[in-house]
Amino acid sequence: MRRGHFRRVYERSPSDEHIARASIGAGRLVPDLKRADLSAAYFLHEKLKPVFGPEKLYYANYSQSSNPNAFPVLMADGRVESSESVSEVIRNLPLTNINYIYAAPSLVPDVKNWIEKIANRYSREVSHDEHR
Protein backbone atom coordinates (compact mmCIF):
# COMPACT_ATOMS: atom_id res chain seq x y z
CA MET A 1 0.00 0.00 0.00
CA ARG A 2 1.46 3.40 -1.02
CA ARG A 3 0.35 6.41 0.92
CA GLY A 4 0.94 10.02 -0.02
CA HIS A 5 1.97 11.12 3.46
CA PHE A 6 4.87 13.50 3.77
CA ARG A 7 8.14 11.76 4.65
CA ARG A 8 10.69 12.86 7.21
CA VAL A 9 13.78 14.21 5.47
CA TYR A 10 15.54 15.91 8.39
CA GLU A 11 15.73 15.63 12.16
CA ARG A 12 17.58 17.79 14.67
CA SER A 13 21.18 16.91 15.47
CA PRO A 14 23.58 18.52 17.96
CA SER A 15 26.29 19.01 15.32
CA ASP A 16 23.85 20.85 13.04
CA GLU A 17 22.80 23.07 15.96
CA HIS A 18 26.47 23.93 16.56
CA ILE A 19 26.90 24.81 12.89
CA ALA A 20 23.76 26.99 12.92
CA ARG A 21 24.90 28.91 16.04
CA ALA A 22 28.38 29.43 14.58
CA SER A 23 26.89 30.58 11.26
CA ILE A 24 24.62 33.05 13.03
CA GLY A 25 27.63 34.35 14.97
CA ALA A 26 29.61 34.77 11.75
CA GLY A 27 26.70 36.52 10.01
CA ARG A 28 26.16 33.79 7.40
CA LEU A 29 22.69 33.08 8.75
CA VAL A 30 20.50 36.00 9.74
CA PRO A 31 17.61 35.22 12.11
CA ASP A 32 14.13 36.53 11.36
CA LEU A 33 13.37 39.15 14.00
CA LYS A 34 9.75 37.93 14.19
CA ARG A 35 10.77 34.37 15.18
CA ALA A 36 12.68 33.13 18.17
CA ASP A 37 13.46 29.82 16.42
CA LEU A 38 17.21 29.59 15.81
CA SER A 39 17.30 25.87 15.05
CA ALA A 40 19.19 24.39 12.12
CA ALA A 41 15.94 22.79 10.92
CA TYR A 42 14.22 26.17 10.73
CA PHE A 43 17.04 27.67 8.64
CA LEU A 44 17.13 24.60 6.37
CA HIS A 45 13.37 24.78 5.91
CA GLU A 46 13.63 28.47 4.99
CA LYS A 47 16.30 27.67 2.38
CA LEU A 48 14.28 24.77 0.93
CA LYS A 49 10.91 26.56 0.60
CA PRO A 50 11.85 28.73 -2.39
CA VAL A 51 13.27 25.71 -4.22
CA PHE A 52 10.55 23.12 -3.59
CA GLY A 53 7.56 25.26 -2.56
CA PRO A 54 6.15 25.75 0.92
CA GLU A 55 3.17 23.50 0.17
CA LYS A 56 5.53 20.56 -0.50
CA LEU A 57 7.41 20.88 2.81
CA TYR A 58 6.37 20.84 6.44
CA TYR A 59 8.43 22.08 9.37
CA ALA A 60 7.51 20.55 12.72
CA ASN A 61 9.01 21.78 15.94
CA TYR A 62 8.33 21.44 19.63
CA SER A 63 10.26 23.16 22.38
CA GLN A 64 9.42 22.29 25.94
CA SER A 65 8.74 25.53 27.80
CA SER A 66 9.02 24.37 31.38
CA ASN A 67 10.67 21.64 33.39
CA PRO A 68 8.18 18.97 34.56
CA ASN A 69 10.89 17.18 36.53
CA ALA A 70 9.91 18.66 39.90
CA PHE A 71 7.68 16.22 41.72
CA PRO A 72 7.39 14.94 45.30
CA VAL A 73 9.46 11.94 46.34
CA LEU A 74 8.53 9.86 49.38
CA MET A 75 11.72 9.07 51.27
CA ALA A 76 12.24 5.82 53.21
CA ASP A 77 11.78 7.64 56.54
CA GLY A 78 8.40 9.07 55.45
CA ARG A 79 9.55 12.59 54.61
CA VAL A 80 8.61 14.14 51.27
CA GLU A 81 11.37 15.83 49.29
CA SER A 82 11.52 17.51 45.89
CA SER A 83 12.81 15.27 43.10
CA GLU A 84 15.26 18.00 42.13
CA SER A 85 16.82 18.04 45.60
CA VAL A 86 17.03 14.23 45.71
CA SER A 87 18.56 13.71 42.26
CA GLU A 88 21.18 15.81 40.49
CA VAL A 89 20.38 13.91 37.29
CA ILE A 90 16.72 14.97 37.40
CA ARG A 91 17.71 18.55 38.29
CA ASN A 92 19.93 18.73 35.18
CA LEU A 93 17.70 17.07 32.58
CA PRO A 94 17.58 19.30 29.51
CA LEU A 95 14.31 20.55 28.11
CA THR A 96 12.99 18.61 25.11
CA ASN A 97 13.59 20.22 21.74
CA ILE A 98 12.34 18.44 18.61
CA ASN A 99 12.71 19.65 15.01
CA TYR A 100 11.76 17.81 11.83
CA ILE A 101 11.36 18.66 8.17
CA TYR A 102 8.93 16.60 6.10
CA ALA A 103 8.60 16.57 2.30
CA ALA A 104 6.12 15.31 -0.26
CA PRO A 105 7.05 11.72 -1.19
CA SER A 106 7.94 12.55 -4.80
CA LEU A 107 10.51 15.12 -3.63
CA VAL A 108 12.25 13.15 -0.87
CA PRO A 109 15.46 12.24 -2.79
CA ASP A 110 15.87 15.77 -4.18
CA VAL A 111 15.19 17.44 -0.83
CA LYS A 112 17.66 15.16 0.94
CA ASN A 113 20.30 16.02 -1.66
CA TRP A 114 19.70 19.74 -1.15
CA ILE A 115 19.88 19.34 2.63
CA GLU A 116 23.20 17.50 2.29
CA LYS A 117 24.61 20.23 0.02
CA ILE A 118 23.47 23.03 2.34
CA ALA A 119 24.75 21.24 5.45
CA ASN A 120 28.12 20.48 3.83
CA ARG A 121 28.56 24.09 2.74
CA TYR A 122 27.88 25.52 6.20
CA SER A 123 29.94 22.79 7.86
CA ARG A 124 32.97 23.62 5.67
CA GLU A 125 32.61 27.34 6.41
CA VAL A 126 32.38 26.77 10.19
CA SER A 127 35.31 24.36 10.09
CA HIS A 128 37.35 26.94 8.19
CA ASP A 129 36.44 29.63 10.79
CA GLU A 130 37.37 27.38 13.71
CA HIS A 131 40.80 26.59 12.25
CA ARG A 132 41.82 30.22 11.78
CB 14 within 8 A of CB 117: no
pLDDT at 102: 97
In Å, what is the CA distance from 54 to each residue of 1, 30, 104?
Answer: 26, 20, 11
17 has a pLDDT exceeding 90? no
pLDDT at 29: 84
Picking from 3, 22, 4, 7, the residue whose alpha carbon sits closest to that of residue 122 is 22
Quickly state the pLDDT bin for 21 (edges 50, 70, 90): confident
Average pLDDT, the chain: 88
112 has a pLDDT exceeding 80? yes
Q: How far apart are CA 90 and CA 84, in angstroms?
A: 6
Nearest 10 degrees: CA dihedral of 13, 108, 44, 21? 20
Quickly state the pLDDT bin for 54 (edges 50, 70, 90): very high
Q: Which amino acid does the sequence have at 92?
A: N
